[in-house]
Structure formats: C-alpha cells, structure tokens
C-alpha cells in the first residue's frame, strides 16, 4: 500500500487532471478550481476561501454559504502556484494548486500539512510537494500505529493533499 502511495505521488508531478480552461467573461480565458473544505471534525460550511497567487496577492475569493463545496475562477494570467486558504476558521487550513490544469483541490488538515512540509523543505515546488506528500502519508497512522492513506480520498492523481 505504501509503495502504491509513492507511485501515486510521482504521478502527481505530471500535473494530472482534466483541462479546466474555459472561455470566461470580459477577462477572456480562466481556469476553474473546485473542492471541499473540511477540518478534523468534518465539513466547514461557513467562511471564505481566499485564493492568492505565488506572490501572496489575493486574486479572488469565494464565500462558503452552508455548503463545504467551493468553486472559483482563476484568471488566465495568474502566476502559479496559487494558494488557497480558509478565512474565518480557528485553524489555518490551506492548499496549493501548482498548475492551471488542475481542476480539483480540497482544503483539509492533510493539504495543510503537505503545504507546511513543502515550505520546510525549502519552498512550494513540485519536487518539495511530492516529498511532503510522501512524508504526510508516513505521518498518517491509525490508532494501531499502522500507516494509512485515509486522508487521501479516492483517485490520488489529481493534486496534492485533497485527493479525489
């Protein structure tokens, strides 16, 4: 199982995911990113998802109104990676989207762990995100002390830490 997780991490380096570029409003092209926001207790249904470019400048935000799902349009000229943070919650929850081709990214304690770990490794790069994701898997243990990938839902080839 652990070897499968490592292989899945390596697949992520290729920026797997469906194309999310569509024609949008007056600005022209944009990418759409969507996902859910959860903490250790379950879905977060209120607050705001703030989306920032690689320089930390806020580029857009979406409000959670009774649902933990969010969807945001990212302008085509946005500098990647983009950082997603939930505002209005006790715990800092964040995630990173490395490539405009990614269409899904959940914001969870696991995605937050991966982002923090990548920063500790020297910065949010594809290589550091892959290493951080592998480290996060090794830190995810069941009550019996066995490694688990429970924080990584379903198909792990979409994006780091919020896996679908």
Read off the pLDDT of residues 2-38 as tens digits, 9 standing for 90 and up: 443 443 343 343 333 333 344 344 445 889 999 999 9
| 3-class SS letters over the chain | CHHHHHHHHHHHCCCCCCCCEEEECCCEEEEEEEEEEEECCEECCEEEEEEECCCCCEEEEEEEECCCEEEEEEECCCCCCEEEEEECCCCCCEEEECCCCCCECCECHHHHHHHHHHHHCCCCCHHHHHHHHHHHHHHCECCCCCECCCCCCCCCCCCCCCCC
Indicate whether 129 belongs to any domain: yes
Indicate whether 50 belongs to any domain: yes
Indicate whether 155 belongs to any domain: no
This prediction's pTM: 0.71
Indicate whether 35 belongs to any domain: yes
Whichever domain contains 113, its CATH number is 2.60.40.1120
pLDDT in tens, 129-143: 999 998 888 776 544
């Amino acid at each position: 199982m652990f070897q499968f997780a490592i292989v899945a991490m390596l697949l992520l380096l290729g920026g797997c995911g469906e194309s999310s570029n569509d024609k949008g409003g007056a600005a022209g092209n944009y990418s759409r990113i969507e996902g859910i926001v959860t903490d250790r207790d379950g879905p977060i249904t209120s607050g705001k998802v703030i989306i920032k470019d690689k320089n930390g400048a806020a580029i857009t935000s979406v409000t959670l109104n009774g649902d933990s799902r969010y969807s945001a349009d990212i302008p085509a000229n946005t500098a990647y990676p983009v950082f997603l943070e939930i505002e209005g919650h006790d715990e800092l929850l964040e995630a990173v989207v490395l490539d405009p081709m990614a269409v899904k990214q959940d914001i969870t304690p696991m995605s937050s762990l991966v982002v923090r770990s990548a920063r500790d490794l020297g910065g949010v790069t594809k290589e550091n995100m892959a290493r951080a994701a592998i480290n996060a898997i090794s830190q995810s243990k069941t009550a019996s002390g066995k490694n688990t990938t429970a924080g990584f839902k379903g198909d792990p080839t979409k994006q780091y830490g919020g896996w679908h």
